[in-house]
Amino acid sequence: MNRKLQRLAVFALMVVMLGTFVGAALAAEPHTDHQWDEGVWDKEPTCTNGGIKKFRCTVSGCSEEKYVNTDPLGHDWGEWSIPKASNCTESGTKERICSRYAVCGGKDSDIVMPTGHNWGPWLPKTGEAADCTTAGKEVRSCGNAGCPVKSETRDVAALGHNYMWSVTTQPTCTEDGVRTGKCSRCNDTETEPVAKYNGKNQSQGHTFTAWRDPKDTEVEKSRICQTKVRECTECGRLEIANLDKPKHVVRKTTKNGKTYEWFMREPATMNGPGRAVQTCKYCGKVIKSREIKFEGGRYNIAVTAFGPRASAINSALFGLNDRLIPVDFTKIEEQVFALVTDDGILVGEMRVSVMDDTVSVSYQMNDSQTIVSQAVFYMFPDAQSITAADLSDPTRAMPFGTTLPLNGQTYGVIAARLVVNYNAENSANRAFPDSGIYLDGATNNATILQEMTTNLME
Ligand SMILES: [Zn+2]
Ligand SMILES: [Zn+2]
Ligand SMILES: [Zn+2]
Ligand SMILES: [Zn+2]
Ligand SMILES: [Zn+2]
Ligand SMILES: [Zn+2]
């Protein structure tokens, strides 16, 4: 043993003795939940190899330690660099290195695939373009910068004409027409037939005359006035259309050399006027119509019992056409009064019969054909108290034939209101003016009116 080794042995012995002494003085309680420190690398990891980390327990007096294996770091790749760029048809390469390249030598490379061409449209090749009748070439270019090919060319067949067609001669119902095509590129023209419309049994291509009135051999008689016709001068097709406004024609007949166009539709009677019409000789429609009066017929004429006019007796009755008659109820007898129309014709009689304290009023027409459409009478105690409203009050209007109690009444005023159709030609209905002759055939009406007026005014 040389001196150097002797010194080392003495030092080692002292360390062991000191350790034993300190251990004996500071020994910790035994435990299993060690408090590990942050650890220190026992062996550092690299990109591709794992490392080993050593941990110690920090609890005072515990000398426990452990070793833990760690994963490799993996390479830390940088950006790709392009040592050789790709283009439309050729591939390129790319590379990248690890940031710890100096230690690990990590390096990665890959192929970049070709991009393919970016072709534009095919276009006619200048100087060699195809036209309607000649084959030619067309060319297209790649839009990618750096393309090794740049463009390509191909053969194209002649384009053929591009005709735009229009009918230049219209076909008719019997003749073909013509259509002409003009090439939009070279102005070449071509013609083709257009089939005719094929005769009468279809609607197109005809050459019509102007519209005219139909003949009775062309349409039903009843439609002659409602229609118009035209025909094709080529094929004879006949077209019939309705007129907007019918052209009726008045029907006429000739009798004994005289021409008539009015016909009796409904004869006139006492009930009312009749009707004569003009009709269309084709469709029978009534074109004109007019009333036919009964010869002598007077319609809806007001009738009153003949006496002084009410308006002259009582100013409250001004404007009314009524007449008033005074009646004496003191004698048991039948008194007769004239019934006169507004137009001054005597058409009948009113009878006032006084019995034992009753009176009944009736009437009779001179002509049994006279039609009475309305007939009432009014009875008042005197002329002065009558109002216009009384004479239109339906509750005061009494039908003829009514018998009334008199209750001692000795005097009354009667107004009659009738409406008739009468025949002025019948001699039973005679003129009865205020200045004419009364029912007795002798007394002047003016005298009768004067007497009645005096009586009514009392
Ligand atoms: Zn511990
Ligand atoms: Zn690396
Ligand atoms: Zn290209
Ligand atoms: Zn052409
Ligand atoms: Zn035709
Ligand atoms: Zn007609």
Q: Does position 338 have pLDDT exceeding 60, yes or no?
A: yes
Q: How far apart are CA 33 and CA 35, in angstroms?
A: 6
Q: Could you say which ligand is closest to the alpha carbon of residue 74? A: 2
Bridge partner residues of 337 (DSSP): 350
Q: What are 43-89's pLDDT values in tens digits?
A: 999 999 999 999 999 998 898 999 999 999 999 999 999 999 999 99
**C-alpha 242 – ligand 5 centre gap (Å):** 20
Q: What are 81-128's pLDDT values in tens digits?
A: 999 999 999 999 999 999 999 999 999 999 999 999 999 999 999 999
Question: What's residue 276's pLDDT?
Answer: 96
User: For the chain, what is the mean pLDDT?
Assistant: 92
Query: What protein residues have CB closer than 5 angstroms to ion ligand 4?
Result: 132, 161, 183, 185-186, 188
- The domains of the chain are located at 36-82+93-111, 253-292, 297-457
User: Closest Cα to residue 142, out of 122, 120, 116?
Assistant: 120
202-227 as b/e, with b when 16 or more CB fall inside 10 Å?
eeebbeeeeeeebeeeebeeebbbbb
Q: Does position 1 have pLDDT exceeding 60, yes or no?
A: no
182-196 as b/e, with b when 16 or more CB fall inside 10 Å?
ebeeeeeeeeeebee
> Which of these ranges, 16-20, 325-329, 453-457, has the smallest mean pLDDT?
16-20
Contact present, 339 and 305 (Cβ < 8 Å): yes
Q: What are 131-175's pLDDT values in tens digits?
A: 999 999 999 999 999 899 999 999 999 999 999 999 999 999 999
Q: Could you say which ligand is closest to the alpha carbon of residue 199? A: 5
Q: Any residues with CB less than 8 A from the CB of 263 and at least 6 apart, and which?
A: 251, 276, 277, 278, 279
Q: Does position 399 have pLDDT exceeding 70, yes or no?
A: yes
**C-alpha 76 – ligand 2 centre gap (Å):** 6
Contact present, 225 and 212 (Cβ < 8 Å): no
Q: Does position 20 have pLDDT exceeding 80, yes or no?
A: no
Q: How far apart are CA 368 and CA 428, in angstroms?
A: 9
Q: What are 199-244's pLDDT values in tens digits?
A: 999 999 999 999 999 999 999 999 999 999 999 999 999 999 999 9
Contact present, 291 and 407 (Cβ < 8 Å): no
CA distances from 451 to 3, 245, 318, 417 (A): 201, 68, 21, 22
| pTM for this predicted structure | 0.47
Q: How far apart are CA 305 and CA 286, in angstroms?
A: 44
Question: What's residue 420's pLDDT?
Answer: 97
